[in-house]
Amino acid sequence: MHRTTETAQKNLEAISTILHLSNFLPFPELLERVNTFNAAISRSASFLAEKVIYKASEAFEEGIQDDIVVTKDMIGGRLSDMLAAQAHNAESSTSRPGAVFLRIIFQIFILNFCVSEIDPCSVISVNDAGKHILY
Amino acid sequence: MQASLPATTLRDFKISLVKKLASIFEVSSWALPGAENRAAFRMLLEPLFEAREALRIPMQQTFGPANMEVALVEPDMLFIDEYMEDAFASDLTPLDGTMLEKQTMPRRVVCAWGVGLKMKKESTGEPAVMRVLNVLRTPVVLESTLDSAMKEASPVKSLEALQAEDGRP
């Protein structure tokens, strides 16, 4: 992911505002930690996306149901359904899953795993009316 | 996503993550082949754990008084440029006016790609209103990116399609 000049400018302006409001906090260090965290997630997700192959599942039906619950919890119901739907490729193809799809799934999984343990309430939510909801 | 108690040791972190990854592998029929690959992945979890700890501890302690928080974006939200950043923006190559037209339409978020930073600030007016001051925009995956990825993620062609490509009846 490449940050645009416009994005960098906006970030700098926002950081300047924050520093003005609360000059006792080492924000540059916090920003560095966020960037390091995001980069570590990307490295792990990228590695999995490069190495993963199809392999037919040998789990019992009961076990699969438990795995589906965990998967939905980690990446959401919609992506979990997509994962299950594409699983049939393992039976009929020797090709690899799509690279971007793999990357998205692993990135989201690792991010959600880590964030669920940092602060599960830190969510910016915007409804269809464009209203910002805080949690 | 259910909240869970943080794994505060590298060992617990690895065990918990790998266990959940195994569930994803079962559902998707994916696998990480080879002991070397699995060992290499476990090695990658060490800097990941350190990075998470380096963020988790200050977010809960040092930076608490400033109302600073990790910023995430919920699935299915509308894309708001002020708070969000398209993680795949640089991969978009406008070829004609169609792409520009798409970008002006409301875009929907599939999920967050990373974390950003936000600050909660209460206004001084009456009545007081809590505002979100963006510090670092949260990278997200857009619906359009997932749609493209799903087309790419369908490598299996039907027999009819293969016969059509070969010119066979």
Instruction: Give the model confidence (pLDDT) of A109-128 as tens digits.
Output: 999 999 876 654 444 444 44
| The predicted structure's pLDDT at residue A81 | 93
| The predicted structure's pLDDT at residue B166 | 53
| The predicted structure's pLDDT at residue A134 | 40
Give the residues across from B85 on adjacent strands. B139
CA A54 to the chain's CA centroid: 22
CB contact under 8 A, A53 and B37: no
Q: How far is B18 from chain A (nearest CA, A)?
A: 10
Here the ipTM equals 0.78
pLDDT tens, position by position, B104-142 = 677 899 999 999 888 777 777 777 777 778 888 999 999
Query: A124 lies in which domain range?
Result: 5-134
pLDDT tens, position by position, A82-96 = 999 888 777 765 567
SS3 content of chain B, % helix, strand, coil (to 5): 45, 20, 35
| The predicted structure's pLDDT at residue B154 | 53
* Element housing B71 (H / E): strand B68-73
- Interval B30-48 mean pLDDT: 96
| The predicted structure's pLDDT at residue B18 | 96
Best mutation target, A6, A118, A127, A132, to test chain B (most B CBs within 10 A): A118
More confident: A18 or B60: B60
| The predicted structure's pLDDT at residue B82 | 85
CA distance A65 to A17: 49
| The predicted structure's pLDDT at residue A126 | 47
When CB atoms are compared, the residue of A14, A56, A107 closest to B113 is A107
When CB atoms are compared, the residue of A52, A108, A122 closest to B71 is A122
With a CB cutoff of 8 Å and minimum separation 6, the contacts of B62 are: A25
Which range (A10-19, A97-106, B75-84, B112-121) has the least confidence? A10-19
In chain B, whose CA is at the least distance from the CA of A27? B63
pLDDT tens, position by position, A20-74 = 454 444 778 888 889 999 999 999 999 999 999 888 767 677 778 999 999 999 9
Domain count for chain A: 1
- Among the ranges A27-36, B37-46, B56-65, B74-83, which has the highest mean pLDDT value? B37-46
Q: Beta strand pairing status for B84-86 and B130-136?
A: unpaired
| The predicted structure's pLDDT at residue B22 | 96
| The predicted structure's pLDDT at residue A25 | 47
pLDDT band at B68 (very low <50, low <70, confident <90, very high): confident
Domain boundaries defined on chain B = 1-62, 65-169
Q: How far is A65 from chain B (nearest CA, A)?
A: 9
| The predicted structure's pLDDT at residue B104 | 60
CA distance B16 to B10: 10
Token pair in block for residue A87: 């699983």
Q: How far is B127 from chain A (nearest CA, A)?
A: 17
In chain B, whose CA is at the least distance from the CA of A76? B1
In chain A, whose CA is at the least distance from the CA of B5? A117
Give the residues across from B73 on adjacent strands. A124
Q: How many CB pairs under 8 A join A and B?
A: 287
For residue B73, the chain A residues in CB contact (below 8 A) are 123-126
CA distance B147 to B57: 37
More confident: A113 or A135: A113
More confident: B54 or A21: B54
When CB atoms are compared, the residue of A17, A80, A116 closest to B4 is A116
| The predicted structure's pLDDT at residue B143 | 92
| The predicted structure's pLDDT at residue B100 | 46
